[in-house]
Structure 1
Amino acid sequence: MLKTVLTAIFVVVAGSAMAQEFQHEATPLFENCGDPSLTKARTDGVTLGISPSPPYSSLDPSSKKAAGLDVELAEAALKWAGIAKINYEVMPFGQLIPALLAKRIDVVASNIHVTPDRLKAVSFTGPAWWYGPAIVTAKGNPAGVTSFDTLKGKKVGAIAGSAADEYLRKIGVNVTAFQTDAEEFSAITTGRVDAILDDDVKIIEFMKANTSSPIEIVANVKIPDELIFKYGYGYARYAVRKEDCSLRAAFTQGLAEVRGNGQASSILKTYGLTNRNLFFFPL
């Protein structure tokens, strides 16, 4: 239970900190360091793969300039690491890992979470930022969704290849997979699915821009620990090929530096978020 974990982490008695218990969502990934990927990136530049998903990432069709929260965080970290030349490829989210493995891109820079299936194929940076999952239904919640268990037997939408998609299938939910945010939100607003599971910040952004949309976030849904610590809604990270250990190490330290010096906080605030989005436990 999240409440139990929070209690374990933040107990102080008579002004003295007691033993603390922390959970980790990722394991050390240092098996192949010593490779030339960082040197190559500093010399030749890197290509970041992004999916069109405001406010995270997008590409202006006229200027070809990338923008968004993930774009700014990734660029800040990579520039700290000495990587000055950054190019972009835009594609649906579900195509990013195949493109990475095919060496069409060097980094999945649309935020991505650690999941069991992804760990078989790619490696991950350290934490970039955090957001949580939210379940959306039609207004009035006619599907009667009150928990993740009540999604079973219903038609539920998710982005293909996302953490939401992987977890829903794992717990036996009938998933309708969509390639883009626009398709997913269209399906829930027109009643083609009973619910969708997606990122809370993305959903809030959509609802702010579409105030007449007949949808709502289901309130007071307990997030299963397994969804955070195993199936993807822990920290948002970025992904690289397993063999590119030196690039991953530099990128990871760059992310830590921009979190530590306040730049990450400043970027989050630009997009209407707060320091709450630096941690998956509230402080």
Structure 2
Amino acid sequence: MTRPDRNGPKTGWPILLFFLSAFLYSACKPVPAGGTLERIRKADEIRVGYANEAPFAFMDPASGRFTGEAPEIARHVISKLGVQNIRGVLTEFSSLIPGLKAGRFDLIAAGMYVTPQRCREVDFSDPTYRVGEAFIVARGNPLGLHGYEDVAGQSTARLGLVAGTIELQYADAVGIPKDRIRLFPDVPSALAGVRAGRVEALGGTGLTVQDMLKKAGDPNLERADPFHQPQVEGTPVFGYGAFAFRKGDAAFREIFNTELTRFLGTEAHRAAVRPFGFSSDELPRGMTAEQLCQPS
């Protein structure tokens, strides 16, 4: 009797190698750059990730409309691309980039700041606005907190921030200890933290703080005034917000950015964002994503 070969029949190897090669080619073959654009045009709908942070992107409870600075700009741009419908996908801010990369939505429209760290994970459009920082504090600002440096300098001061936002980098840059930083999943819970006395100050963009206080209507809360912008190497820093795209969606990003550039600064753009507190003062002043993605 012939002893079976311990490695199995030799005649099966060519077939196995053929299917293995075919699988590897299929797995490694790049996705066509125009894939997302073609798909949303065919569906006549784009899925947009947002974190329910007014005035950048939120669901208006009165009208049920997905709105804010970023969604209204996106509506104009995608209409120029032949897409009429926009569907918001609510996500915690810290999960926006993972959600985009996982394909839960096609675009992030949340007023997300462009930073070199984020540029390593996603691609950005050119920015749509520039804005500074602000604090919400208890009435009378008991600890006299007028900037991130003030929080760092007072051992009893605790700072509230929304998880995943750029403000955490500002806090780290000025030396606020991590054990005096409280992270919240979203804006409403962060505001509740100030009310409950769990933090002495809540950091956010000036526009976010302005909107939060207006909607809260709470006489026991106020905006820290004056406010000193955080500084990096002696220069006050400002945040620049933009739309985010998956790496590999270069064609979609390019055509979106072209229409966006045509729109920014026009009277139609100003009218679209004016209801959310944006004015000519918040225009990005020629700043580009390429500049903002450069390591500092």
* Counterparts in 2 of 1:227 and 1:113: CA distance versus 1, 3 Å: farther
Counterpart of 1:143, as a letter, is: L
Residue matched to 1:200: 206
CA distance in 1, matches of 2:105, 2:217: 36
Residues 1:35 and 2:45 aligned together: no
Structure 1 residues 114-153: aligned runs within 5 Å? 114-152=114-152, 153=155
Bigger Rg, structure 1 or 2: 2
CA distance in 1, matches of 2:197, 2:226: 23
Does the CA-based 8 Å contact 2:72-2:273 persist in structure 1? no
Alignment counterpart, residue 158 of structure 1, candidates 148, 158, 161: 161
TM-score, normalised on structure 1? 0.77
- Alignment partner, residue 168 of structure 1: 171
Alpha-carbon distance change, 144 to 177 in structure 1, aligned in 2, over 3 angstroms:
same
Tell me the CA shift for residue 60 of structure 1: 5.5
Map 1:180-191 → 2, pairs under 5 A? 180-191=186-197
Q: Secondary structure at the match of 2:103?
A: coil
Are the equivalent residues in 2 in contact too, given 1:240–1:248 (CA < 8 A)?
yes
Number of the residue aligned with 1:235: 240
Count of residues in Structure 1 that have an aligned counterpart in Structure 2 = 249
Structure 2 contact 51–110 (Cα < 8 Å) conserved:
yes
Three-state SS of the structure 1 residue aligned to 2:256 is helix
CA distance in structure 2 between the aligned counterparts of 1:85 and 1:271, rounded to whole angstroms: 21
Residues 223, 35 of structure 1: alpha-carbon distance in 2 compared, 3 angstrom cutoff: same
Give, in angstroms, the shift of residue 240 of structure 1.
Answer: 0.9
The amino acid of 2:33's aligned partner reads D
For 2:136 and 2:248, locate their aligned partners in 1 and report how far apart those are by CA, in whole Å: 38
Contact residue 147 and residue 230 of structure 2 kept, 8 A:
no
The answer to whether structure 1 residue 251 and structure 2 residue 256 are counterparts is: yes
Output the amino acid matched with 2:211: E
Overall identity of the aligned pairs, in %: 24
| 1:215 aligned residue | 221
C-alpha distance in 1, partners of 2:186/2:233?
Answer: 22
Partner Cα separation in structure 2 for residue 269 and residue 177 of structure 1: 30
Unaligned runs of at least 5 residues, structure 1: 1-31
2:75 partner amino acid: E
TM-fit CA distance, 1:156: 0.5
Separation in 2, partners of 1:138, 1:218: 9
Code of the residue aligned with 2:39 in structure 1: it is K
Query: Which stretch shows the higher mean deviation, 109-118 or 251-260?
Result: 251-260
Q: Which whole-Å deviations, capped at 9, do the CAs of 1:159-189 have from their partners, x for residues lacking one?
A: 1001112332343323211111111111112
For 1:273, give the aligned amino acid: F
Q: CA deviation at 1:260?
A: 4.2
Match of 1:90 in 2: 90
Q: Shift in Å at residue 248 of structure 1?
A: 1.2
- After superposition, the C-alpha distances for 1:98-124 in whole angstroms (9 at most, x for unaligned) are 100111111111110012331221111
- Contact 2:161/2:181 (CA < 8 Å) preserved in 1? yes
Shift in alpha-carbon separation, 1:267–1:60, aligned structure 2, 3 A: closer
CA root-mean-square deviation: 2.9
1:270 maps onto 2:269 in alignment: no
Structure 1 CA distance, aligned partners of 2:60 and 2:146?
39
State the Cα deviation string for residues 61-91 of structure 1 (Å, max 9, x = none).
7986422222111111222233334322112
Distance 2:234 2:70 in 1: 20
Q: Which residue type is aligned with residue 221 of structure 2?
A: I
| Kept in 1: contact 2:190–2:202 (CA 8 A) | yes
The CA deviation string for residues 218-251 of structure 1, in whole angstroms up to 9 with x for no partner, is 22333235399997x4321111112111111122
Query: Which residue does the alignment assign to 1:12?
Result: none
Is contact 2:48-2:106 (8 Å) kept? yes
* Greater displacement, 104-113 / 214-223: 214-223
- Secondary structure of the corresponding residue to residue 171 of structure 2: helix
